[in-house]
Chain A
Amino acid sequence: MYKIVAKRKLNDLVELMEIHAPYVARKCEPGQFIILRVDEEGERIPLTIADYDRKKETVTIIYQVVGYSTKKLSLKNEGDSVEDFVGPLGQEAPLHKVKRVLGIGGGVGIAPLYPQLKKMKELGVQVDTILGGRSDEFIILEDEMENISDNVYYATNDGSKGIKGFVTDKLNELIENGEKYDLVIAIGPLIMMKAVCEITKKHDIKTNVSLNPIMIDGTGMCGGCRVTVGGETKFACVDGPDFDGHQVDFDEAMRRQGMYKEEEKDHVCRLGLED
């Protein structure tokens, strides 16, 4: 059992938990993730490591309540435990010192972006950040991001914070204004990462993305997480989850992620978890 030592609501849908998990906390690096099961009957769900504290042996996860398992997780409180918590899984993000990086985070994707940008900052890289979401309320980790970035730009669908529009509108604007970046790290919904990559490819700016296909074991055993990168099949759980965005077959990834849409919709309703 893994104890929840702290829990905080970041907005209506997104929550943060700090969990005591010595094996993961001792070893994890930005870009890696964990898989947890809420209880004995639970499903295995992957979540990115948003932060960690090696001394306290804790790992921070930030999750959006989207379906059955994240709902069950959100019913747990400080002092409770989750049944299983395994990691660190995946490769650490390939972060090297460059001059200037632009981080682009969408929705809950801001959570996995944070540790990567933090590490870049520690490496002495100049960090700019674009954060996007449905509205002001859906933008998380603002203070943390402001702390490590030279500039933070915002884009919301309703214009309640920053520009009214998408992160890609802001990206285009920065490029047009002559801002130069050596690397873009984009993490968010697949459709956002795809759109970012279309732009950065045109301008020849290397772009890393973090993929989140459906997973079970997270150790390379099932092959359910396969994605096509540069024309080759990769297992996101062991080869990724971070990949060169210009090589990723996003259309396939989106299709595969929707594999159980029907079953899952049904599931939440039938179990009476729908609010």
Chain B
Amino acid sequence: MPNMSKEKVKMKEQDPLLRIKNFDEVTCGYTLEEAMEEAGRCLQCKTRPCVGGCPVSVPIPEFIKEVSEGNIEEAYNIIATENRLPAICGRVCPQESQCEGKCVRGRKGEPVAIGRLERFVADYYMENIKKDVEKPESNNKKVAVVGGGPASLTCAADLAKKGYEVTMYEALHQLGGVLMYGIPEFRLPKGLVQTELKSVTDLGVKVEKNVIVGKSITIDELFEEEGFQAVFVGSGAGLPRFMNIEGENLNGVYSANEFLTRVNLMKAYDFPNSPTPVRIGEKVAVIGGGNVAMDAARTAKRLGAKEVKIVYRRSKEELPARVEEVHHAEEEQIIFDLLKNPVEIIGEDGHVTGMKCIKMELGEPDESGRRRPQPIEGSEEVMDVDIVVVAIGQTPNPLLRDTTDGLDVNKRGCIVVNEDTMETTLENVYAGGDAVTGAATVILAMGAGKKAAKAIDEKLSK
């Protein structure tokens, strides 16, 4: 008899007033008992609607069944058939619009906490069970993957499992992509990311850090000089957008990428023990309403800012961030200054002192179905701020396109691919993740990496 409670088993969290003073993870995860109790809420639907909501088709009812019986190793093995980064996905997937969004239990009450269970299984496995993975036997075929983010990691893992000799080229000094430099420690501990990454590299994937494909070596050279038979491009959407308003180059204006990279990758939170500084100030305004904006705001709070505002041009319903992040931000006293759009950043002696914003109202729905924000004339006001973080989106970096003849991109700069195989306009060059979709999600990037791996294998096995 399933557990018919309408609510998910609660997950412990750090108290908001304590956690804004540290970078430790906000949510504490389930215990084995809690996980088994929550797993009991799953109805084991024959039609598996939840699986249809997962971009990588994790066998959800199957792994949950094992959890309900306390067989965590088996549960892990089931997840790992489709997803090699479950501790990460369990934490950062927008479950409400994916697996959990389709769960039948969600019709009356809360859906099964699929994300939390997935995370539990991965954490428990890493802590208590973890077995060394064996390097599969080589099939002597060479594939290169560009970038070390979730798209490339997934593609590399799937190919390595089949015996391909995979080399991963990463521009930065660390693998992980946004998982390492973007998403903060308190949401996705970096030690855990490294452990999960290792489960991929242990499959025998060769890693070359500090190599920028397009600069250090070109895609053509990967084929002609290094002898690769296929290349997968998972270079992400790293180029920050700015607003192009007056004052945006004042000292004290950061892109979210710079702000978060300083703090996460370069550990500026530990300055001066770490060598890279970051400026925080007293009053911080973060512009934007997505996950990136929430992360920047909550990071600023933890670094000691007295007042942190999210400035967003639409209303709360339209915030694109995960529901849980908005909720956590509110608990952490982040102020939501909604229906406002910056028109000018004001400075004194070259440093930010204020930001002029215009009030907005919502008009008719636009192509995306969201109501279009319109400025209310004459409603400009100046708010007091000394740091501004711009988090209004990223687009793919033009570097590869500019150095690779014949690699077509669309007008938003995203690499054009055949949707079925992820092959680009260049033969044997595949692409996926944010480089193709523009800034999206970890799990979509992983799904794309997987699809490409399958297509590469089919092509090279012919």
Which residues on A are within 8 Å of B, measured CB to CB?
23-24, 27, 37, 41-44, 68-69, 83-89, 216-217, 219-224, 226-228, 233, 238, 252, 255-256, 258-260, 263-264, 266-267, 270-271
Q: A42 to B173: give the CA distance in the assembly, Å.
A: 11
Task: Assess A86 versus B210: contact at CB under 8 Å? Given A217-B171, A219-B171, A255-B251.
Answer: yes
Would B215 and A27 count as touching, CB distance under 8 A? yes
Q: Which residue of B lies closest to A68 (CB)?
A: B275
Would B266 and A88 count as touching, CB distance under 8 A? no
How would residues 170 to 213 of chain B score, 1 for a CB under 8 Å from any chain A CB and 0 otherwise?
A: 01110000000000000000000000000000000000011110
Would A86 and B211 count as touching, CB distance under 8 A? yes
A residues less than 8 Å from B255 (CB atoms): 222-224
Chain B residues 59 to 112 lying within 8 A of chain A, measured CB to CB, are none
Which of B215, B242, B398 makes the CB contact (< 8 A) with A87? B215
Nearest-neighbour CB distance to chain B for A62, whole angstroms, equals 21
Nearest-neighbour CB distance to chain A for B271, whole angstroms, equals 7
**Interface residue stretch chosen among B257-265, B331-339, B372-380:** B257-265
- Return 16 A-B CB contacts under 8 Å, by A number: A24-B216, A44-B173, A44-B276, A84-B210, A86-B210, A86-B212, A89-B212, A216-B262, A217-B261, A222-B261, A252-B350, A258-B251, A259-B251, A263-B279, A264-B277, A267-B271
Does B397 belong to the interface (CB within 8 Å)? yes
A residues less than 8 Å from B399 (CB atoms): 219-220, 238
Would A221 and B261 count as touching, CB distance under 8 A? yes
Does B217 belong to the interface (CB within 8 Å)? yes
A residues less than 8 Å from B275 (CB atoms): 41-43, 68-69, 267
5 pairs of A and B residues whose beta carbons are closest in the complex: A43-B275, A222-B258, A86-B210, A263-B277, A255-B350
Task: Assess A44 versus B240: contact at CB under 8 Å? Given A226-B249, A260-B277.
Answer: no
Q: A84 to B265: give the CA distance in the assembly, Å.
A: 14
Nearest-neighbour CB distance to chain A for B293, whole angstroms, equals 16
Q: Which residue of A lies closest to B390 (CB)?
A: A223
Q: A123 to B330: give the CA distance in the assembly, Å.
A: 63
B residues less than 8 Å from A222 (CB atoms): 240, 255, 257-258, 261
Which of A27, A216, A220, A228 makes the CB contact (< 8 A) with B239? A220
Would A267 and B277 count as touching, CB distance under 8 A? yes
Q: A222 to B391: give the CA distance in the assembly, Å.
A: 11
Q: Which residue of B lies closest to A255 (CB)?
A: B350
Would A220 and B171 count as touching, CB distance under 8 A? no
B residues less than 8 Å from A68 (CB atoms): 275
Does B140 belong to the interface (CB within 8 Å)? no
B residues less than 8 Å from A89 (CB atoms): 212, 215
Count contacts between A and B, CB distance < 8 Å: 109
B residues less than 8 Å from A217 (CB atoms): 171-172, 261
Q: Which residue of B lies closest to A40 (CB)?
A: B173
Does B158 belong to the interface (CB within 8 Å)? no
Q: Which residue of A lies closest to B210 (CB)?
A: A86
For the residues of A in contact with B, the DSSP-based class is: mixed
Does B369 belong to the interface (CB within 8 Å)? no
Q: A150 to B336: give the CA distance in the assembly, Å.
A: 65
Q: Which residue of A lies closest to B248 (CB)?
A: A233
Nearest-neighbour CB distance to chain A for B148, whole angstroms, equals 13
Q: Which residue of B lies closest to A271 (CB)?
A: B272
Would A221 and B257 count as touching, CB distance under 8 A? yes
Would A86 and B216 count as touching, CB distance under 8 A? yes
Chain B residues 258 to 300 lying within 8 A of chain A, measured CB to CB, are 258, 261-262, 266, 271-272, 274-277, 279
Does B304 belong to the interface (CB within 8 Å)? no
Q: A258 to B277: give the CA distance in the assembly, Å.
A: 13
Would A43 and B266 count as touching, CB distance under 8 A? yes
Would A88 and B215 count as touching, CB distance under 8 A? yes
Which of B171, B242, B251 makes the CB contact (< 8 A) with A86? B171
B residues less than 8 Å from A41 (CB atoms): 274-275
Would B240 and A221 count as touching, CB distance under 8 A? yes
A residues less than 8 Å from B350 (CB atoms): 252, 255-256
Q: Which residue of A lies closest to B274 (CB)?
A: A41
Would B262 and A263 count as touching, CB distance under 8 A? no
Does B49 belong to the interface (CB within 8 Å)? no
Would B211 and A84 count as touching, CB distance under 8 A? no
Q: A84 to B406: give the CA distance in the assembly, Å.
A: 32
Q: A226 to B274: give the CA distance in the assembly, Å.
A: 24
Please indicate which of the listed interface residues B211, B251, B398 has the most CB atoms of chain A within 10 Å of its own CB.
B251
Would A223 and B257 count as touching, CB distance under 8 A? yes
How would residues 214 to 248 of chain B score, 1 for a CB under 8 Å from any chain A CB and 0 otherwise?
A: 01110000000000000000000011101010001
B residues less than 8 Å from A238 (CB atoms): 399
A residues less than 8 Å from B217 (CB atoms): 23, 27
B residues less than 8 Å from A264 (CB atoms): 277
Would B266 and A221 count as touching, CB distance under 8 A? no
Would B272 and A220 count as touching, CB distance under 8 A? no
Task: Assess A216 versus B258: contact at CB under 8 Å? Given A84-B209, A84-B210.
Answer: yes
Would A216 and B216 count as touching, CB distance under 8 A? no
A residues less than 8 Å from B258 (CB atoms): 216, 222-224
Q: A223 to B350: give the CA distance in the assembly, Å.
A: 18
Q: A222 to B262: give the CA distance in the assembly, Å.
A: 9
Q: A75 to B103: give the CA distance in the assembly, Å.
A: 60
Would A216 and B266 count as touching, CB distance under 8 A? yes
Which of B211, B239, B271 makes the CB contact (< 8 A) with A23? B211
Task: Assess A87 versus B251: contact at CB under 8 Å? Given A43-B266, A221-B238, A267-B272.
Answer: no
Would B249 and A228 count as touching, CB distance under 8 A? yes
Would A221 and B239 count as touching, CB distance under 8 A? yes
How would residues 153 to 180 of chain B score, 1 for a CB under 8 Å from any chain A CB and 0 otherwise?
A: 0000000000000000001110000000
Would A88 and B216 count as touching, CB distance under 8 A? yes
Q: A267 to B274: give the CA distance in the assembly, Å.
A: 9
Would A233 and B242 count as touching, CB distance under 8 A? yes
Q: Which residue of A lies closest to B258 (CB)?
A: A222
Which of B212, B251, B274 makes the CB contact (< 8 A) with A219? B212
Please indicate which of the listed interface residues B262, B266, B274 has the most CB atoms of chain A within 10 Å of its own CB.
B266
